[in-house]
């Protein structure tokens, strides 16, 4: 009984979401000022044929620097977690 009720509520919720989302414009945004600017000027300003790369590495290069730093920090954290213990050193199990 509870499973049926739960499934009905879930179905109703996602059905409502789908109904609302049907009206959203997808892949066809009404405001395209920024897109037009990138498509018109990316090749002339950066010299790259791939507009996506020219955005990721040039127009938004600061974000990519942050992403590279995040990856570096993640690897540092994993290295600290899995490091070799020194002689006679134990994990603290509190």
Which whole-number Å values give the CA distances from 27 to 33, 55, 91, in the listed order? 15, 19, 52
Of 9 and 63, nearer to another protein (C-beta) is 63
**Residue 81 φ/ψ, nearest 5 degrees:** -70, -40
Binding of another protein at residue 32 (CB under 8 A)? no
Judged by DSSP in three states, 29 sits in coil
The 33-72 contact track toward another protein, x by CB under 8 A, reads ----------xxxxxxxx-xxx-xxx--xx-xx-xxx-xx
How far apart CA 78 and CA 7 sit, in angstroms, is 40
The residues of the shown chain that bind another protein, judged by CB under 8 A, are 27, 43-50, 52-54, 56-58, 61-62, 64-65, 67-69, 71-72, 74-75, 78-79, 81-82
């Amino acid at each position: 009984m509870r499973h049926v009720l739960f499934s009905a509520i879930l179905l109703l919720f996602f059905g409502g979401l789908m109904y609302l989302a049907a009206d959203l414009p997808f892949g066809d945004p009404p405001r395209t000022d920024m897109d037009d600017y990138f498509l018109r000027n990316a090749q002339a300003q950066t010299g790259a044929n791939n507009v996506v790369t020219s955005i990721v590495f040039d127009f938004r290069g600061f974000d990519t620097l942050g992403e590279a730093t995040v990856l570096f920090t993640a690897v540092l954290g994993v290295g600290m977690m899995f490091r070799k213990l020194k002689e006679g050193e134990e994990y603290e199990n509190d």
